[in-house]
Chain A
Amino acid sequence: KNEVEQSPQNLTAQEGEFITINCSYSVGISALHWLQQHPGGGIVSLFMLSSGKKKHGRLIATINIQEKHSSLHITASHPRDSAVYICAVRPLMYSGGGADGLTFGKGTHLIIQP
């Protein structure tokens, strides 16, 4: 059974700090997603990775396929970054069809204090 583990579960930091959220998974994957869930409940896709590193503004996502691990970094954090960050993977076994969809971690609840 594929497990997706995120750490930490909760993180409170001060504005301006460098933030790292980690994600580990247990099976081979075709892609890993990082999502952001706003306090109002909406979910937005931030990154989709299958290798290496991606950057968008102050957000950086990295993945190490061999170690089955990904990190999401936020530089110069701001109170508006406060949200739940969710890691999700698409297992290789789903790539050929059948019941499809992502397997999600439980999320990291991030609070950035001014």
Chain B
Amino acid sequence: NAGVTQTPKFQVLKTGQSMTLQCAQDMNHNSMYWYRQDPGMGLRLIYYSASEGTTDKGEVPNGYNVSRLNKREFSLRLESAAPSQTSVYFCASSSRTSGGTDTQYFGPGTRLTVL
């Protein structure tokens, strides 16, 4: 049982390049999330997926696209990377209860630098 996995762990891009961050979970969770973490700021939600085939924008979606390929996988794509997207990216998943509360399980993070 690997939990939440993310690839790659590190990436350096040049401005304008594109890339996809991969995330997978093996806990049969419905909900998956992409966050970014910047120095001096709390984690911020980029996109959210409540189930396969559905996605919603979070607090900072500009410059990103997502795809919920199936229940296990949720990918984050940067079409044209910018230096402002230099950050640590975390994927998380959760199993929502009927009361709407849940524990989120986080992946190890991807450290992205855009030059």
Residues of A within 8 A of B (CB): 4, 30-31, 33, 35, 41-45, 48, 50, 86, 88, 90, 94-107
Contacts and interface: CB of A to CB of B under 8 A. Distances in A.
B40 A106 contact: yes
Interface stretch (B66-74, B79-87, B103-111): B103-111
Interface residues of B, number: 28
A46 B109 CA distance: 18
Interface centre among A50, A86, A88, A104, by most chain B C-beta atoms within 10 angstroms, is A104
B79 to A, nearest CB: 21
B49 to A, nearest CB: 9
Given A101-B35, A101-B48, A48 B102 contact: yes
Nearest to A102: B104
10 contacts: A30-B99, A30-B100, A41-B111, A42-B106, A90-B101, A99-B57, A100-B33, A100-B56, A101-B33, A101-B35
Interface in B26-69: 31, 33, 35, 40-45, 48, 50, 56-59
Contacts of B41: 106
B88 interface: yes
A106 B88 CA distance: 14
Given A48-B101, A97-B50, A99-B56, A41 B88 contact: yes
B48 A100 contact: yes
A50 B56 contact: no
Q: Which 5 pairs show the lowest CB-CB distances between chains A and B?
A: A104-B42, A101-B45, A95-B100, A31-B101, A43-B106
A41 B48 contact: no
Given A99-B45, A100-B33, 16 more contacts: A30-B99, A30-B101, A31-B101, A31-B102, A43-B90, A45-B104, A45-B106, A50-B101, A99-B48, A100-B56, A101-B33, A102-B43, A102-B45, A104-B42, A106-B41, A106-B42
